[in-house]
Amino acid sequence: LLCPVDLQDTDSLTLKFKFNPKLGIDNPVLSLAEDHDPYDPWSLARPRFCLLSKEEGKSFGFHLQQELGRAGHVVCRVDPGTSAQRQGLREGDRILAVNNDVVEHEDYAVVVRRIRASSPRVLLTVLARHAHDVARAQLGEDAHLCPTLGPGVRPRLCHIVKDEGGFGFSVTHGNQGPFWLVLSTGGAAERAGVPPGARLLEVNGVSVEKFTHNQLTRKLWQSGQQVTLLVAGPEVEEQCRQLGLPLAAPLAEGWALPTKPRCLHLEKGPQGFGFLLREEKGLDGRPGQFLWEVDPGLPAKKAGMQAGDRLVAVAGESVEGLGHEETVSRIQAQGSCVSLTVVDPEADRFFSMVRLSPLLFLENTEAPASPQGKDPSLEDTSVPSVPLGSRQCFLYPGPGGSYGFRLSCVASGPRLFISQVTPGGSAARAGLQVGDVILEVNGYLVGGQNDLERLQQLPEAEPPLCLKLAARSLRGLEAWIPPGAAEVRKKKQMGL
């Protein structure tokens, strides 16, 4: 176990400030830039995002352990000269999420499985030990501490096949990236799922964010008749900006991909499963486990196994990097019923090119659409007794002490709502939006006579500030404000 850290050491990292009701708290806030110093004290006091890439023949470069008697997964060692060290991962960091999936309260084996399954690239959300201990002491063990993207809001990996109109997009002109795409109506890119106004992130697994326009043109020309793009639509780009999340490939969902992994379910027969597992070098020159001698009429063939398939997972757990004997042991441990995830040579080449694990694309989950495409928040503007769609946000003040938002209060309906969000501020990065209704503040229900008095005491509280919110459209918000309440709303405002 790691040595305990004295919580008094965090005093120097927790800056306090005095609340001025006349001026509000719209002081400048810290902006999480991509080139932030990972060892800066303010950076360590809030969740950080580490995008790790596994180099050939190497690991991600860190070791994980679970502390006895408490939830959480701790980085216990970071190897020098590795991706983990270069991305600012530190000993003692807590892993909060893997590729936008919150894992803090999951079993240790599940977390390890998720990280391995994401190879060769993984996005970790982490929090320094001192900040984690303070947050847990204030909020309890069950509260989520990390920001995540909403359902269906992900970058897209889109495979485009050229037609008579070309790829169906043009690129915004500029000497150097970033680049945005302009789509041809009904063109190949639009059909492949590229959203309008998408930002171009990668071409065939290579980042083009720092490419010149000539380099990008050459890269696209070299792609021939088909190309795979990693893109982010405006909604994704804005939400990632607000949360401080990088537009990372491991977050992507697949759209119109030319191939995908296959999950085979085999039940052992009298003559066995009917295949031979052999270790040999794959397309990238690294050892892998390949399936051969698939016997006709036996369970493997009936399940869809093909000679030359590469085995990538057993019972959903990645076998990348495992030796032949250990892989065989894992298959045998499943007994007479085995679940194998495999890729054929075409899929193997594709996922190797885009530098993403095929296990990330076993299923494509999308947010369910509302009936007739309508926004449910616009259907009924009456005031619900309990607003729907509540969520939690955790805010950390910037160096000047600002949380970056203002509140307004009305006499009836939902009493407190967000009336202003400072662009680039802590509130914006946490996903707060104008019109959000405050349900709870640091565990206290909002709706009593002493709300403003309690809020005025919040600047003296130790961060993070925990808000429970309910989203509401601006049209719905106006319906909550009764006639004549405009003056009350103007008078009862405060900044945070």
DSSP string, 421-448: E-TTSHHHHTT--TTPEEEEETTEES-S
Structure pTM? 0.63
Q: Which two tokens stand for residue 350?
A: 């594709």
C-alpha–C-alpha distance, residues 469 and 455, integer Å:
15
CA dihedral 460, 464, 465, 467 (to 10 degrees): -170
- Sign of the alpha-carbon dihedral angle for 156, 158, 164, 169: positive
Predicted confidence pLDDT, tens digits, the chain (496 residues): 333 322 233 333 333 333 333 333 333 232 233 344 444 444 566 889 999 998 776 789 999 988 776 667 899 999 998 999 999 999 999 999 999 888 888 888 888 888 988 889 999 999 988 888 888 787 777 767 777 887 778 999 999 999 998 999 999 877 777 899 999 998 999 999 999 999 999 999 999 999 999 999 999 999 999 999 999 999 999 988 888 889 999 999 998 899 999 999 999 999 999 999 999 988 777 789 999 999 999 999 999 999 999 999 998 888 887 889 999 999 998 888 999 999 999 999 999 999 999 999 885 333 333 333 333 332 332 333 333 345 666 677 665 667 778 877 655 444 677 877 776 666 766 667 777 788 888 777 776 666 666 666 666 666 677 777 775 543 333 433 334 333 333 333 444 4
Q: Which two tokens stand for residue 371?
A: 């009936």
**Residue range 391-469 in CATH 2.30.42.10:** yes
- Cis check for the bond before 482: say yes or no (omega within 30 of 0): no
Alpha helices (runs of H) in 233-382, residue ranges in sequence order: 234-243, 299-303, 324-332, 345-354
Cβ contacts of residue 274 below 8 Å, gap of 6+?
294, 295, 297, 298, 299, 300, 301
The DSSP bridge pattern shows strands 199-203 and 206-207 to be antiparallel
Q: Which residues are registered as beta bridge partners of 279?
A: 289
Give me the phi and psi of 137, to 5 degrees please.
-65, -35
The DSSP bridge pattern shows strands 199-203 and 179-183 to be antiparallel
**Which helix (H) or strand (E) covers residue 218, if one does?**
helix 213-222
- Sign of the alpha-carbon dihedral angle for 128, 418, 455, 470: negative
Tell which CATH classification among 2.40.33.10, 2.30.42.10, 3.40.50.300, 1.10.3720.10 matches the domain 156-255: 2.30.42.10
Instruction: Answer for the pair 31, 424: CB distance below 8 angstroms, yes or no.
Output: yes
The dotted CATH code for 262-360 is 2.30.42.10
Helix/strand/coil percent split, the chain, to 5: 25, 25, 50
Return the DSSP state at 12.
Answer: G
Give me the phi and psi of 297, to 5 degrees please.
85, -10
Can you identify the CATH homologous superfamily of domain 48-139? Answer: PDZ domain (2.30.42.10)
Q: Which two tokens stand for residue 453?
A: 């008095």
* Domain(s) of CATH 2.30.42.10: residues in the chain: 48-139, 156-255, 262-360, 391-469
